Structure 1
């Protein structure tokens, strides 16, 4: 049996040169590509156009920071226990990105691309989007499943991040059928569930739609959230080093959760 060949187009090095995706790292990348543009090159094998660069960098930026989230607390607490291993602290925080936090961009993109596979050139109008959205919401409602990319516990009646991302996509000619369908799904969900102004497209829904406009497979979308949140977690650890709170989080949580077990002093 013939042994399969090993092949990668990502990069190679010689004594005096490093090549990434066919570009010279030192001459063509450093000082010329932003980190977001470099990420686009790594993922797609080409540098982005000016419009794609603006939109893609906005997509990466939107999930960098979201306050004292569970992932941020986990990173801080891990660093408290193992300050010699910053990578472990960041990795611990990233492990919590899933179907509840940040990872829903994957579900939204998968839903959209399941209806309209990447590379489809057939025109898509608002009426067709509305019909498709009605079917999607009906199916999710019948199965008692949440619609990915829709709704937010805090941001109502709109998620300002999604509004801004869609505006940036529109300004750069990248608000196409996936954005139209995502917005139609939100409108239909609010109508079907009788929750006007309470089921907006959220940030991850916007990311799923815009990533689809950029031609990125839904399988990569959770990775975009990972890239963004890794930067944010590093920021939390930088703050933790200067103004530590992890020990207080630990002590207060232990006290609050165990207070009912501690024998009360006699009066």
Structure 2
């Protein structure tokens, strides 16, 4: 009977009893003060500690996506939730729940797209053909939108992507990552540019997906990591709104009205 209870949940993450907390086999008191928060995220999700160099590149991706302003649905939701009386926990929960396929999911999707091309290259398909096939497959099986490329707001390019790519390039030179996914990501952009006859620059999701893939994170974790990163901005905006005050503020000022498309009065 005891084993029925103790085995109901099984985990390799935490071993705990009175006076003892081991996380992935490491006593928590040995981790405190000796590992950074990015290293801790890696340990908890991957089961091992990264090298310092891996952790620094990982941290760059986390830092890059913390916020994108009140026009981002998740941030707007956090601020609106506060004006409706929710506390920080409720505001954060409401906002994180906005991070799904359309808003917040492109990083995971880009990792998957890159992975299709990567697997084809490993099976001796020329890399440019592998990329073109992956893009066409995405359009056939998933969506006409190629995740990680183009931006409705940042023209001509997302300022975060070139910086992240330069850090990946340095990590390749330093032998921290192989650079395979960076090559694939750049070729996706080249392929889209040639298709459209105009620049279709990589955005934050495409760039962070390269880092997460280079570091060996699974696609679904890329979405979870984006949620962790964006939670910093969500918390900041919710706290700011809480201090600014305001009651029941909707997404637009009250003198703006929606367009009614229903039946007219007889």
TM-score by length of 2: 0.83
Aligned length: 249
CA separation in 1, counterparts of 2:88 and 2:100? 22
Unmatched segments (≥5 aa) in structure 1: 261-267
Paired residues of 1:63 and 1:102 also in contact (CA < 8 A): no
Q: Which moved more, 1:127-136 or 1:93-102?
A: 127-136
Q: Give matches, 1:204-223, under 5 Å.
A: 204-223=205-224
Q: Does 1:194 align with 2:192?
A: no
SS of residue matched to 1:116: helix
- 1:263 paired residue number: none
SS, match of residue 19 in structure 1: strand
Residues 140 and 190 of structure 1: CA distance in aligned 2, closer, same or farther (over 3 Å) = farther
Matches within 5 A, 1:16-55: 16-26=19-29, 28-55=30-57
User: How far 1:141 moved relative to its partner?
Assistant: 5.7
TM-score by length of 1: 0.83
Distance 1:194 1:37, change over 3 A: same
**How far did 1:187 drift?**
0.9
5+ residue gaps, structure 2, are 261-266
2:22 is paired with a residue whose SS is: strand
For residues 1-267 of structure 1, the aligned pairs below 5 Å read 6-26=9-29, 28-68=30-70, 69-83=72-86, 85-117=87-119, 122=122, 128-140=126-138, 145-173=144-172, 174=177, 176-195=179-198, 197=199, 199-244=200-245, 246-247=246-247, 249-250=249-250, 253-257=253-257
Deviates more, 1:129-138 or 1:144-153: 129-138
Tell me how large the CA RMSD over aligned residues is: 2.7
Counterparts of 1:122 and 1:108 in 2: how far apart (Å)?
18
Residue aligned with 1:98, SS? coil
2: CA distance between counterparts of 1:51 and 1:121? 27
